[in-house]
Each structure stands twice: as structure tokens, then as C-alpha cells.
Structure 1
Amino acid sequence: MTMTVRDLRPEVRADVEGFARVRRLALPFYLVTADSLAYDATHAHPDSHYRPLVAEADGEVIGTAQVGLVHDSPDPGQGYLNVYVHPEHTGRGAGSGLVRAAEEYLAAKGATRLYAWVLDRPGDRAFAERHGYRASRSAHFLRLDLAGGELPPLQDPPPGVELRPGTDFADDPRPFFELDSETMSDEPSDIDYEFTDYEAWLESTWKHPLFSPELTTIALVDGRPAAFSAARTDGGTRYGTVMTGTARDFRGRGLAKLAKNDSLHRARAAGLTEAFTGNDAGNGPMIAINKWFGYEICATEMRYVRELG
């Protein structure tokens, strides 16, 4: 077997389809399509120096890596590499080749600390530790059966609260951006973020091919966006909430739960059969909300960190 590591060619359909196939097999609880990968590669913020890589063996993509700098953090020098290998091609050097190429690239771009998400399995953790990474925080993937499971009944919003789909903000998404920015800044993380770039948010969130404004729900209190649940779909039967949150002034009133329940009911009515989401293991309130909906943990991943000399 001849194995090479090279850049993903987003304009080559076989490349992005191969990348998507590996990601779906290695991480089946995360929504990804060939079109979304091509979009990510061609619309990444220039300061992120985003560089997706593939490991190819005998003309087949068998491994993938998403590589870049955390450009929206006030702390410079932070990079990331998320490496996944086709389950039938592990142990053949694809993962190590991708890690070496990613680290060399990130070091040349000035990275001094690297972050990588690794599935919480003995072989995956051992792989990360052999390459000099240490375990940090953990997060869960959760799944909900929309087709056969029961959702909590829809409830009328309390006085002064209105639930609206994301499509109502199509003419001016900025209020939604400001709400998303505030809630994302409070998410548990190893990395501090500053979400202040509206144009970058439009590219990475609002215009993203997986984003579904039709299934996204925003809760308004006296006309002000106060909570939301942002939805993505893969164009088939799978649905995911990529962020659910509440502005600081409105927390503790159950608004995020109202918004997410509305989004889930509309997703099921649209024929979607599986719902996925993710939670930091330390985010107890959101884990409790998702368990209330009936989500079950289907996998756990660990964030690993390596300091570059």
C-alpha cells in the first residue's frame, strides 16, 4: 500500500466525497456532507489558515484532518488538528502521517499550543498520548430518535414571549448574531473566544449549507431576541442542534427549552428522523435539558493538548 498525505482539493468531487465518507464512518454522530466540506475549505476566515488534509492510499481517501489556527481568540498561537481515519484502515500510518503534516504546518504558522478532539476509546487515547498530547476536558455526543421517540408536548409561551423561526431574520440576521455571540462566549472551553466579526459569522453560520433557518427557533421577550436553538440538516433525514442558549439577562426562565422544543417538533414534522447534539461534559444545565427531551449519550470525546517547544 502506498500512502501519501496531501491537501484536500475542494474543487475535486472525489476528494470531498472521500473526506465526507471517512468522517461519517469515523464520527457518525456529526453532520457533514461533501458540499459542506467544500464550503468550509473555500470560505474559511483567512486568519485561520485553514488547511484540510487527506491521507490517500492507492487512490482512496482513508484519513482526514481539519487543521487551522484559532483566529477568533484573544490568545495567539493556538492551533487545532482533528484527525479521523477510515475504521477499516487504522494501524497503517495514515493517522500518524496526518499528525506530522498538521503539526509541521501549524508550527510554521506560529502555533505554540495544539488542540485535538479524540474519541474516548483506549486505542484513540493511546494514539494521542504517543504523539505527546495530554488529556484535558471531555464532551458528549447525544442522539434522539425523532421517528419513534416521544417529544415533550408543545407549550404556549408565557406572556411577552414569542417563538419565531430563523427565516424571520433573513433580512437582518444581526440580532441573531448578537445573541449567538453572547451565548457562545459563555460556553465551557479550554479556549477563550471573541465573537465580534459579523461578516465572518455570516459566512460560517448563516450562509453555511447545513444551516437551517427554517428549523432554527428564536425566542423573543418583548421583541428582544433572548434565547435560541440553531439547527442544521444534512439534506436527508438527520438534524442537529449546533447551539442552544440564552442571553445572560434572561436565564433561568426555561426559554432555551421552549426554543429547542419548538425546533424539534418542526424537525419531526418535516420528516427528519434522527436528532444529534453535543455537550461539554461540564455543562450540567444543558445536559439536563437534553435528557429531558430524551437524548441519550452515544459517544464521548476528549480534548487533548500539546505544547510545542
Structure 2
Amino acid sequence: MQIRPAVPDDAPAVVALRALVYPYLVRGVESTRQMIANPPPGEEWVAFVAEHAGRVVGWVSAYVNARTAEPGFGEISLLHVHPEHRGRGTGTALLTLAREHVLRLDARRIRAWAQAESLGFARRHGFEPGRELRYSSLALRPAPPAPTVPAGVELAPLTDLTPELMYAAEVAAASDEPEDAPQDAIPFESWRYDVWDNIGLDRDASVAVLVDGEVVAFSLVKRDGERMWSDMTATRPEYRGRGLARLAKRGALHRAAERGVTVAYTSNDEANAPMLAVNARLGYRPIAAQWSCLASVG
């Protein structure tokens, strides 16, 4: 077993491994290649792979969270090992490298994520499970009908908008999302890398709701072939309670289905009752869960 830093040419094998362990996550080969070759700015992002007989059988990434002003909030993301290679110390070795990386960046708290069967592993390594994240899916065949747009509201694809308009809307809408650390304004450069310039973002299917030219709600679509991920659906606080998030998401699902998407995936914090209700009304059904797991340093 060899563990080494990930390189861009690992992208196809990493995506194949992710599809096996996390079939409900959507990040394509080119998007993964982009992340490895040109990591997000300001996060000190790194990734490692475990390789056996020339085959990638494990993956982990580690970085500092750029969406919070809490100092030293480290992230260990998507640690996973091929089912046939578990119980051999591979996960522990990957976790050790990831933890060492964020500790060198003066991490004070570290967050990882675990499926139900991995909670014991997390606890043995000093992580305490906390918030539950629900994953859901929706078949898009037949395609959902286009939504009825009320008077005074405009529905527009992201191709009609500027990144500055969308950034301002996300900063306002994300300020009170359920989280393990206080959510602060993500730097524009980091947001542009993660969202606007992401290879997987489908700007034709992604939809914004406008009132008087201002983006007040939106639903983002990241796509890999016939599969899509609802990256974020949100409404500015002052416009909530009017059904605008559901309007945006229904519009995005309709446009994605028209463009060949057959299944949609999304995730929601169990504490986010309004968005869970929106997804239930749209027909999403729960398929999996993960838990955020926190460890303090020192």
C-alpha cells in the first residue's frame, strides 16, 4: 500500500472510487482534476490517495475552512477507502496525514464527516459525531413541469447574470445556515473558484429569482452527465416565506431535465426544516445520511 499526494491524473480513479462509496455525490472527472491541479485559494487544500497494485483505493482531502471567521477551523473531507481494502490501516494512515496537515496550519478544531458505519472509526480517532446531514434523490423522468412565475417576479438562468450579483445573494442567504462554525462572508475569490468558475456548474440549468433586478433566491446545479447536484438553494432572509426557494428549485430541475439530466441529488442539515419541506414537496426521497464529527486540538 502506497499513500502519496494526489495528482491530476488520479481524477478518473478518484471519481470511480467516490461513485462506489458515495453514489449520491456528484463531481465529475474534469471538476476533480481542476481541484487537484489548481486548489481553492486561501484554503491550503491538499489531497492524498492510497494506491494498491497501481489502483487508487483511498482518498482524503484537508484544508482550512474559508467560510468562517473562526480561527483554525480545519476540515478533513471525504475520507473513504474501497470496501475491499478496509480494515488494513489505510483509513487511519490517510486520516493521520490529513490531520497533520491541518495541525501545521494551526487548526484548533477539526471537522470530518462519517457515514453511520464509520462512526465507530471516528470516535476511536477522537471525533465526536454531531449534526446529521440527509441526502435525498429525485428521478427527473418524466421531467417536472415548468413552474408558474408570479407577477412581479422574474426567473432567469445564471447565463443572464453577473458573478457579482450571485455572490451578493449567496452571502446574504447563507448567513444563517445550520453549521458547526459561524458562517461569515466567503471571500469573493474563493466563492468564484468554488461556484462560478467550477467546471461542473451548469449555468443554463441554474436559476435565480429576481425582484426589481435583485437576486432574491436561487438554485445552483452542478452536473456530471445525466446526474446533477443541487449545490445550493437559498433565499435572502427578507424574502423568505413566499415560496421563492421552491420556485427557483423547480425551475432549475425543469431546465436540467430538459437538458438530459435523469436524476437529481441534494443534501440538507436535519435542522433545516424549511428546506427539507421544500424538497419533500418536490418529491425528493431520503437515501443516505452522514454526520459531522468534531475534534478539538490540545
Which position in structure 2 is the counterpart of 1:240?
Answer: 229
1:109 aligns with 2:110: no
| Structure 1, gaps ≥5 residues long | none
Counterpart amino acid of residue 266 in structure 1:
R
Counterpart amino acid of residue 303 in structure 1:
S
SS of the aligned residue for 2:7 comes to coil
Contact 1:43–1:203 at 8 Å: present in 2 too?
no
Which position in structure 2 is the counterpart of 1:204?
Answer: 194
Contact 2:206–2:252 at 8 Å: present in 1 too?
yes
- CA–CA distance in 1 between the matches of 2:105 and 2:148? 52
Task: Write the mapping of 1:170-185 to structure 2, written as runs, cut at 5 A.
Answer: 172-185=162-175
Which position in structure 2 is the counterpart of 1:26?
Answer: 21
Q: Structure 1, residues 17-52: CA drift from partner, whole Å, max 9, x if none?
A: 121111111111010222111212233334311001
- CA–CA distance in 2 between the matches of 1:233 and 1:91? 33
TM-score, scaled relative to structure 1: 0.92
- CA–CA distance in 2 between the matches of 1:228 and 1:270? 19
| Structure 2, gaps ≥5 residues long | none
The count of corresponding residues between Structure 1 and Structure 2 is 297
SS of the aligned residue for 1:52 comes to strand
SS of the aligned residue for 1:106 comes to helix
- CA–CA distance in 2 between the matches of 1:253 and 1:71? 31
Which position in structure 2 is the counterpart of 1:230?
Answer: 220
- CA–CA distance in 2 between the matches of 1:49 and 1:115? 15
TM-score, scaled relative to structure 2: 0.96
Contact 2:66–2:190 at 8 Å: present in 1 too?
no
Structure 2 counterpart of 1:90, from 64, 70, 86: 86
1:175 CA displacement? 0.8
Contact 1:52–1:67 at 8 Å: present in 2 too?
yes
Task: Write the mapping of 1:262-281 to structure 2, written as runs, cut at 5 A.
Answer: 262-281=251-270
- CA–CA distance in 1 between the matches of 2:273 and 2:80? 28
1:107 CA displacement? 1.1
Which position in structure 2 is the counterpart of 1:160?
Answer: 152
- CA–CA distance in 1 between the matches of 2:112 and 2:168? 28
Counterpart amino acid of residue 70 in structure 1:
N
Counterpart amino acid of residue 22 in structure 2:
L
Counterpart amino acid of residue 89 in structure 1:
H
Matched-pair identity in %: 34
Which position in structure 2 is the counterpart of 1:8?
Answer: 6
RMSD: 1.4
The 1:299–1:196 alpha-carbon spacing in structure 2 relative to 1, beyond 3 Å, is closer
